[in-house]
Amino acid sequence: MGLDQSYLKDSVWKPNLFKGKVVFVTGGAGTICRVQTEAMVLLGANAAIIGRNKEKTDQAAIEIGQLRKDAKVISCSNIDVRKVESLVEAVDKTIKQLGRIDYVIAGAAGNFLADFNHLSTNAFKSVVDIDLLGSFNTAKATFNELRKNKGAIIFISATLHYYGVPFQIHVGAAKAGVDALSNALAVELGPLGIRSNVIAPGLIDETEGMKRLVTQDRDQVIKRLPLQRIATTRDVADATVYLFSDAGSYISGTVQVVDGASWHMGALKTDQYPVLIKAKNEEQVTKL
């Protein structure tokens, strides 16, 4: 569920917190990154929405732009984060139309369920290219603007690599790389005034990941969560606002987990493990 004007009334953040600033968001038309962008725009920022799907990206930019009277939200569609030159085009368009880039959210990602025996090399590479290489390319393409404006970047990761999660080998490996990338950038770019952090969402309600990865009854899932509720996209948005705001001005090189301590409980119990995994790995497949 997205944000609206009520966010300004019941959030802890002051209006116009990001007035005059610009946020550049890959995956901005997706569920989580869209709400992150909505929060930034409601709090005064202008935004560039970057995505591959033209219709979806254009529509998201239009709708987010309606959240604030004077908002400027542009669509940079047909952009492939796996190709740095494609992202450079998006950066050039953003600077031309919005004048600058202060904040970057690297959120473009790919995911699907696949056990190792059925996961081909190409499928593994595809996710790594989108999630990890795409994150590197996003940082690379926006670097000059971040350096000029002493900006900040947030990479969207996950908690899947904190423990073994079946059917998510490709994503876990890619997101582990994203965490390492952010940590190194925080150290290398810190002297330039650039901050780099990671947000690692857990189960987020009303997302594609929630639909695909959770097979149990919803009430049973909630009972196993420490805070006794499933996170919302707003929880991620608020973490984003904190890290980009002056309140987070000395926060860099961190991984902000937004899952209510759930990952400490280990992988959620699923009826797919271990019976289904054993059966799948015994099949004579081993995709290459």
pLDDT digits (tens, 9 = 90+) for 71-81: 999 999 999 99
Q: pLDDT tens digits for 138-183? A: 999 999 999 999 999 999 999 999 988 888 999 999 999 999 999 9
- pLDDT at 267 (0 to 100): 53
pTM over 0.85: yes
Kindly indicate the confidence band of residue 220, based on its pLDDT and cuts at 50, 70 and 90.
confident
Tell me the domain boundaries of the chain. Answer: 20-282
Kindly indicate the confidence band of residue 130, based on its pLDDT and cuts at 50, 70 and 90.
very high
The CATH number of the domain covering residues in 20-282:
3.40.50.720
Q: pLDDT tens digits for 105-127? A: 999 998 888 989 899 999 999 99
Rg (CA), the chain: 19
Q: What amino acid is encoded at 115 in this protein? A: D
| C-beta separation of 143 from 89 below 8 A | no
Q: pLDDT tens digits for 259-268? A: 999 888 875 5
Catalytic residue, chosen from 75, 175, 196, 252, is 175
Catalytic residue, chosen from 157, 182, 196, 252, is 157
Quick check: bond before 274 cis, omega within 30?
Answer: yes
CB-based contacts of 88, cutoff 8 Å, min separation 6: 141
* Average pLDDT over every residue of 67-90: 97
- pLDDT at 279 (0 to 100): 67
**125 annotated active-site:** no
| Per-residue tokens: 57 | 């990206």
**175 annotated active-site:** yes
| Per-residue tokens: 97 | 């139309």
d(CA 270, CA 286): 23
- pLDDT at 212 (0 to 100): 61
Kindly indicate the confidence band of residue 282, based on its pLDDT and cuts at 50, 70 and 90.
low
